[in-house]
Amino acid sequence: MTAARTPDPITPMWRGVIAFRVLTWAFACGTVIVQSGHYQREWLAWAILGVMALWSVVSSFLYLRERTRPPSLVVFDLVITTALLLTSPWVLSDAQFALNVPLITTVWAAVPPVAAGARFGASGGVLAGLVVGVATGLAREKFDLDVARDGVLLAAAGLLVGMAATMGRRSAARLEQALRKEAATAERERLARSIHDSVLQVLARVRKRGNEVGGEAAELARLAGEQEIALRSLVTTEPVKPNDSGTTSLRAALQLLATSSVQVSTPADDVELPAHVTDELVAVTREALSNVEKHAGPGAHAWVLLEDLGDEVVVSIRDDGPGIPDGVLERAAADGHLGVVESIRGRVRDLGGSAALDTGPGRGTEWEVRVPSTRGAR
């Protein structure tokens, strides 16, 4: 079964386009009635008015339904309106042109720029307005102040409608994303309550009882405690899949690294970054924590701190281990062991950031990773 298609959020605007078309056709009809008897070809004026009426009905029916509202329909609307407008030299008399009588389409020609703005945005509306403005000048065989004024008004109408349509679609997309996030949060809370009443309580009991018994049971208690923390983080953390804009939550991804010996502190708000930037920073953090596990001893603890400074994000990984003696990293690099240099500093450098290491005998190890929040990898 295919997923339901999201309705166009600016459908009410299309109803306004239809109403505008009906009103402008009524104005054109009144103009033809008033100018009746003065046209060069009376029959052609009424024939064009009839074609305008027919196209108004057909286009209104098509614009009313989203599935019959493709981009080609708006382009064809612009073409047929411009073609009808260009018939004015065969309809109006020289005296009417001299008196600056409205062209045969009158304000009915303003509908395509409005429709183009609704369909293509501000740029499409402005372009359609300029096309109709140029066609008006060709029909009158002159480009004076009045023609320029009409062109500016048509382009401005397309611009305003296009901006409103774009803002409407963006607002609807943000609202839909917020609703999905709210639904996901509610589902995680439901799962958290269910898991808390079953799995988490069992793991907590195993951890408590294992610590009481000691011996090999203490190791089981430690493993149960780590799984308890990991499971809590999993059911209470935001999803880390890329959203529609291609970004993921670094805050959520780092929270999944919490264990009984690793404490993760993050801001209250999400820190959204491009997906590849988030993946690289998580990989850097995992590498640093892996070094803590390998070199700081089984009783060492680590702390991960995430800070959002606006133009950059800072990830700090600190431990309470014995630290790295002076010259060890330099000798490792000279011997060809480039794990720290390439896995941490190399990744961060490719993101356009920096990684500073602060360590020494007896004072633990701290990595401070800074990455621009608006810049991707090279």
Over the stretch 198-215, which tens digit does the pLDDT of each residue have?
A: 666 677 677 777 777 777
User: How many Cβ atoms are within 10 Å of 299's Cβ, its own excluded?
Assistant: 8
Q: Do 355 and 368 form a contact (C-beta atoms < 8 A)?
A: yes
What contacts 267, CB < 8 A, 6 or more positions away? 251, 306, 307, 308
User: Residue 197 above 90 pLDDT?
Assistant: no
Is this model's pTM higher than 0.75 or not?
no
Among residues 235, 232, 230, which one has the least CA distance to residue 189? 235
Which tokens is 75 given?
């382009």
Which tokens is 96 given?
């009417």
Dihedrals φ, ψ of 118, to 5°? -65, -35
Q: Do 111 and 17 form a contact (C-beta atoms < 8 A)?
A: yes
Average pLDDT over residues 47-64: 93
pLDDT at position 193, please? 63
Average pLDDT over residues 60-70: 86
Q: Do 319 and 292 form a contact (C-beta atoms < 8 A)?
A: yes
pLDDT digits (tens, 9 = 90+) for 247-280: 888 888 888 777 767 888 888 887 888 888 888 8
The DSSP-derived string for 269-283 is S--EEEHHHHHHHHH
> Which domains does the chain possess?
11-174 (no CATH), 246-378 (3.30.565.10)
Which tokens is 365 given?
């190890």
The more confident residue out of 321 and 63 is 63
Which residues partner with 303 through β-bridges? 263, 318
| Residue 377: band (very low, low, confident or very high) from pLDDT cuts 50, 70, 90 | very low
Q: Which helix (H) or strand (E) holds 80?
A: helix 71-85
